[in-house]
Chain A
Amino acid sequence: MSDHSHKELPFWRKYIFSVDHKVIGIQYAVTGLLFLFFGFCLVMLIRWQLAYPGQELPFIGSWFPETQMIGGIMLPEFYYQLGAMHGTIMVFLGVVPLAVGGFGNYVVPLQIGAPDMAFPKLNMMSYWLYFIGGVLMLASFFVPGGSAQSGWTSYPPLSVIAAGGQTWWLIGMAFLINSSLLGSVNFIVTIIQLRAPGLSFNRLPFYVWAQFVTALLLLLAFPPLMAAAVLQLMDRLAGTSFFIPTGLVVNDAITHFVGGGNPILWQHLFWFLAHPEVYVLILPAMGIVAEIIACNTRKPLYGYKALVYSVCFVGFMSFVVWAHHMFLTNMGTTMSTFFQITTMIISIPSIVILTSLILSLWGGSIRFNTPMLFAIAFLPMFAIGGLTGLPLGLAAADIHLHDTYYVIGHFHYVVAPGTIFALFAGVYHWFPKATGRKMSEFLGKLHFFPSLVLMNCIFTPMLIMGLAGALRRMYDPTQYAHAQAVQPLNVFISISAFCLALAQIPFIINFFYSIFWGKKVDDNPWQATTLEWATPTPPPHGNFLKAPEVYRGPYEYSVPGQKKDFWPQDMKGAN
């Protein structure tokens, strides 16, 4: 129930414990951006160790306690903590909250013409559960033995016998899982129930479709990880042996577990979540790119229906491909063949989506503003990421490539220059709606071009290193004869990564500068058609001054016979 009274809410109700989807969206987005930045800092420490193993970390090396670095030289335990936490933070605390919690919360209710999410209080709870989960993850760095260090995948038995931080990791994940559960229920109900009159499912902006499928994935894929986390907590705290095989020997001593468990069980439950999670990372990004491409080419999306069917099919298929992460677990040939086939099948709708987006550029009068540059760059970057994934989906090739830098290069191409570029595009695109001011184009381009070049300088060499057999998660790569030939590439990657950090400075300056001093804009600065641009800027509590009605599809750009080149969804009659 919205309150009808117009009295001002106190500060803490308005900006901290707010139930307004826009405030919650901004809270999610800012927290997510901070975690992305923090996760990036962790990986820069890793990059130093990989490029210059055993050398003192300059400037800040002495700041770390003895349990992490001795004389500025990183300890192996700390290296593995950094690796595990980089993955966890980037995926669960950075990208997903920014893409789903941030943009989803802010944009979806606006695009469907709703006053708020269906359950505003659950929405607030979802954010605060995420916040607690994030704090627990960060706090785990300070517990005895340090944070989780068994990789972001937390494979047992290593994770079960690992130091205390793993327990914090599991509890933190439990909070994040419940947060995403509440969020996804909210999205599904909002999109099904609260669409404006006239906004049927085939008039829905593609971004809303992408968020809808994403919410379904989060709803159904996360619970098995919750189950797995409960079982692993039992293993760690109550001494059960769900994931511990009989006769496990650690450091030449038999462990106290009775055994009889199955480490592969964790992998099944984990990847049952984590493969759909990959699509949770990528689908909202595709949605953002589709919105921006349609708006800035001034023409409708090519093949809207094909896009929608593809996104639904991708969502469905993503539940039956998970074991392609597990070809090396003594899996039988029948199951291995099954998962290879489903993996090849799921690449088809992904290609359909990408092809539609590329064809949408054809014949358009493209405006090369900053959001559009990031959106266009997403296309080839995601294509490289997707295509390099195919060899990993085929068991024969995967035997060679499994757990090498090739895998790292592959999924970072999907997520870093792919999803994160799309998220940057979204920030530049919707910033004027949230603040009433545009971000600087000059600083935006200064952000974009170096980032694009450096991203490729980082991830292409990783593919080469992987083909050469360099393994991921190696504390000191110079110890291995076969990896020494590609060690210069490690140095090159690290220098590129440090430069990439510098290339983000224009974005940070731009972000804060534009909040206060950016160029003021009207309600619809990009001349877009979807409903979020029909609200006042920034939208008030309750969003729309008058409940909107929808008369046409979402991408009516350059319609012949119309005076203007865009025809908003809520405009009654001719333009």
Chain B
Amino acid sequence: MSDHLSPEEVKKHVTIYVRVFMALAALTIITVAISYLHLPILAAVGVALLIASFKGSLVAAYFMHLAQEKKIILYPLILVFFFFIVLLIIPTLSRF
């Protein structure tokens, strides 16, 4: 995100922020509503994580400006994402 933004660009950003907020609020209500359906556990986990990941990406992409961020910041984050997945999954597999 470069620091030299024209007022028009900033205003464009602000409308995006408001839209992202509405999406996040709607998704929060959806995820709570779905939890009352009492889906089978695997489906419930899948849906909840899918919605959470989508919300998370919205926050990261627009509020944290990752959508327009420089490569020097994106590359390490890809690395971190990989290690994060490794850390999350491999301990659960150690019985296999």
Contact = CB atoms under 8 A, between A and B. Distances in A.
Interface of A: 192, 216, 220, 224, 264-265, 268, 272, 316, 319-320, 323, 326, 329-332, 334-335
Q: Is the interface of B mostly helix, strand, loop or mixed?
A: helix
A264 B94 contact: yes
Contact of B83 (A192, A264, A319, A331): A319
Contacts of A192: 72
Nearest to A268: B91
B94 A335 contact: yes
A150 B83 CA distance: 29
B92 to A, nearest CB: 9
A264 B93 CA distance: 12
A568 B47 CA distance: 60
Given A216-B79, A323-B94, 6 more contacts: A220-B79, A220-B83, A265-B91, A319-B86, A331-B94, A332-B94
16 contacts: A220-B80, A264-B94, A268-B90, A268-B94, A272-B87, A316-B79, A319-B83, A320-B86, A323-B90, A323-B94, A326-B94, A329-B94, A331-B95, A332-B95, A332-B96, A334-B93
Contacts of B83: 220, 319
A220 B94 CA distance: 22
A326 B80 CA distance: 24
From B79, B90, B91, B96, residue with most partner A Cβ within 10 Å: B91
Contacts of B80: 220
B86 A335 contact: no
A224 B87 CA distance: 9
Nearest to A326: B94
A335 B95 CA distance: 8
A485 B86 CA distance: 44
A320 B91 CA distance: 11
Interface string B37-73: 0000000000000000000000000000000000010
Interface of B: 72, 76, 79-80, 83, 86-87, 90-91, 93-96
Contacts of A323: 90, 94
B85 to A, nearest CB: 11
A335 B87 contact: no
A323 B91 CA distance: 9
A334 B96 contact: yes
Contacts of B87: 224, 272
Nearest to A188: B76
Nearest to A332: B96
Contacts of A268: 90-91, 94
Contacts of A330: 95
B88 to A, nearest CB: 11
A320 B90 CA distance: 9
Contacts of B72: 192
B76 to A, nearest CB: 8
A335 B94 CA distance: 6
A177 to B, nearest CB: 16
B3 to A, nearest CB: 16
Contacts of A329: 94
Nearest to B95: A332
Contacts of B95: 330-332, 335
B79 to A, nearest CB: 8
A419 B38 CA distance: 57
B70 to A, nearest CB: 11
Contacts of A265: 91
Nearest to A331: B94
Contacts of A319: 83, 86
In order of increasing CB-CB distance, the 10 nearest A-B pairs are A332-B96, A268-B91, A334-B96, A331-B94, A332-B95, A335-B94, A319-B83, A220-B83, A335-B93, A335-B96
Contacts of A220: 79-80, 83
Nearest to A322: B90
A395 B46 CA distance: 35
Contacts of A224: 87
A265 B92 CA distance: 9
A365 B93 CA distance: 54
A334 B87 CA distance: 17
Contacts of B90: 268, 320, 323, 335
A197 B86 CA distance: 38
A220 B56 CA distance: 21
